Amino acid sequence: MGDIIKKLTEEMAINHSVFTIFGIPISETMITMTIVTIVIILLAVFVVKAKKFTLIPSGKQNVIEIIVDFVNNFTKDQVGNRWRVFAPYFGSILFFIFFANIISIFNIFPTKTFFYDFLHIEAFKNVPVFQLKPPTKDINVPITLAIMSISLLIFSTIFYRGIKGFLKTFIEPSPIMLPFKILDYAIRPLTLTLRLFGNIFAAYVIMELLIIAFPIVLPGFMSLYFDLFDGVLQAYIFVFLTSVYIHENLETAH
């Protein structure tokens, strides 16, 4: 029991330093975020370098069009006639959070914990361990994403409605709403942050407990829910809430 508590305590610590470069500590979060970013860039290059699109899609073009249509239609439904401005952001943030949330699925190789603790192979005792862990379990990442989304909300409102229009949102539909709207701008980023962080961190802890208790079969099965399904769901919810906030501010801007 003591070993389990110790392991969970270590996992709950934020930003483990893996190594240093010129005295700068490189954390697990920085590494995994870099990997996620590289994956997204490579996918973008793949789309740009794809063969010439045809009127009747097939193969890779089908996949690309399904993804683009999903993001575009989602943005149209949520934001309205200004959807083209927001679709690139929604698509980028959706895929970033999606890949960040599910990255631990790609830990396909057993670690020294398996070879040493369970098979007692001495050669693996001092092998350093690095596992892919969702960077969104580090609260700094959800905070940053939430600040980005709220900044987009504020700047887009000012851009389309002007300073007066932005200030007017604080008293819509009635001046009595002013203190609640001020409080709302503090609660919204907090909601986005804690919802994403809480769900991903809780799922990660549950998976760690399952790996400790049932290291062979069950974790792989349960990963389909806690890593894949929950990861996709939380990415969608984050983008959905962001779109709702933007729609609320812009719906009277016509």
pLDDT in tens, 188-205: 999 999 999 999 888 888
Phi first, then psi: what are they for 65, rounded to 5°?
Answer: -70, -35
- DSSP structure string for 157-198: HHHHHHHHHHHHGGGSS-GGGHHHHHHHHHHHHHHHHHHHHH
pLDDT one-digit tens code per residue, 133-182: 888 988 899 999 999 999 999 999 998 888 888 888 888 777 887 888 88
- Per-domain residue ranges of the chain: 2-250
Length of the chain counted residue by residue: 254
Q: Give the pTM.
A: 0.81
pLDDT beneath 50, residues of the chain? 253-254
How many other CB atoms sit within 10 Å of the CB of residue 79? 21
How many other CB atoms sit within 10 Å of the CB of residue 245? 22
Span between the terminal Cα atoms of the chain, in Å: 61
